[in-house]
Amino acid sequence: MEPDDAARVLVAVITRPRDLRLAREAHWYRIPLAHLPQQLAAEYVAFYQTAAFGDERWSVRYYAPILRYRLTTRRELLPDEATHPRANERYYCLELGPLAELPLPVPAARLRRITFIATTYGQLRRANDVRELWHPDEDQQLPGDDLWGAGLAGKSLR
């Protein structure tokens, strides 16, 4: 079932195919605490793929429901990288439901440096270019705007 148009979506950059594979198979995505977006709370996360994705580069194609947020360390998420310089740093782990493909991918007509974009599923579904995601419909009333700006409306932290 497709999300409601008003559903909050956090578009996040994904720079390596391995990280997309983890989102698809292990059902999680990580965000360093040091690089949190202003608006983290969302019902879904969508992924902007970089040049590392070949023919799928510079576009948003996949999304997943966010089931839960939790704090953890990189070492706990990636035990095979225990000697990584940031192994002990804290991360938000977004626990995800199944990855789904957008009906139509949202390309970037020109290369864009993207970290995070807070948008809605309706805007994501209608956008013809990534730049359109920054400006949701102005006449659209979204429930809980005060909580959305506060960060983690309705999501459990552990």
The predicted pLDDT at position 74 comes to 86
CATH code for the part of the protein at 8-150: 2.30.130.30
Q: Give the phi and the psi of residue 145 in degrees, each rounded to 5.
A: -55, -35
Residue 9 or 78, more confident: 9
The predicted pLDDT at position 25 comes to 97
- The three-point CA angle 14-19-20 to 5° equals 75
What integer is the mean pLDDT of 64-90? 88
Q: How confident is the model at residue 10 (pLDDT cuts 50, 70, 90)?
A: very high
Q: Give the phi and the psi of residue 143 in degrees, each rounded to 5.
A: -70, 145
The predicted pLDDT at position 46 comes to 97
What value does the CA radius of gyration of the chain take, rounded to a whole number of Å? Answer: 15
- Site of tokens 């782990």: 93
Q: pTM above the 0.85 mark?
A: no
The average confidence (pLDDT) of the chain is: 83
Whether 88 contacts 75, CB under 8 Å: yes
